[in-house]
Structure 1
């Protein structure tokens, strides 16, 4: 799965405009990045990458790149 597809998945999950996320985007700058988004991210990674991530892992994420890195580690 390429980078743009992963960004599109995240944009859909966050109900953000297509093309609005970049790897440098700070998660704190996203109005919809909250506990519900974290749960949605856990479900997204499980569904699309067949891998489980934890809340403690998500708490360490600062940028979209951090999420992409986990996706790459799961599915380059």
Structure 2
């Protein structure tokens, strides 16, 4: 899966407009990145990539790029 598709998935998950995120976007700058989004991300990874992530691992992510790396890990 390419980076554009991953970013689109993240934007959809957080209900953001297309083009809002880029790889350098800091999660701390996003009002939409909250505990619900974190759980939604874990569910997304499970559904789309058949991977199980712990919340503590996701909480270490600082940027959209970090989340994208977890999609690959």
> Please, what TM-score do these two structures have when normalized by structure 1?
0.93
1:15 aligned counterpart, secondary structure: coil
| In 2, Cα distance between equivalents of 1:36 and 1:51 | 19
Query: Runs of 4+ in structure 1 displaced over 6 angstroms?
Result: none
| Aligned match of 1:69 | 69
Q: CA RMSD in A?
A: 0.6
| Structure 1 residue 58, shift from structure 2 partner | 1.1
| Structure 1 residue 59, shift from structure 2 partner | 1.2
| Aligned match of 1:41 | 41
- Any residues of structure 2 matched to 1:1-76 within 5 Å, and which? 1-73=1-73
> Please, what TM-score do these two structures have when normalized by structure 2?
0.96
| In 2, Cα distance between equivalents of 1:15 and 1:25 | 15
Count residues with an aligned counterpart: 73
1:58 aligned counterpart, secondary structure: helix
| Structure 1 residue 4, shift from structure 2 partner | 0.4
| Structure 1 residue 71, shift from structure 2 partner | 1.0
Unmatched segments (≥5 aa) in structure 1? none
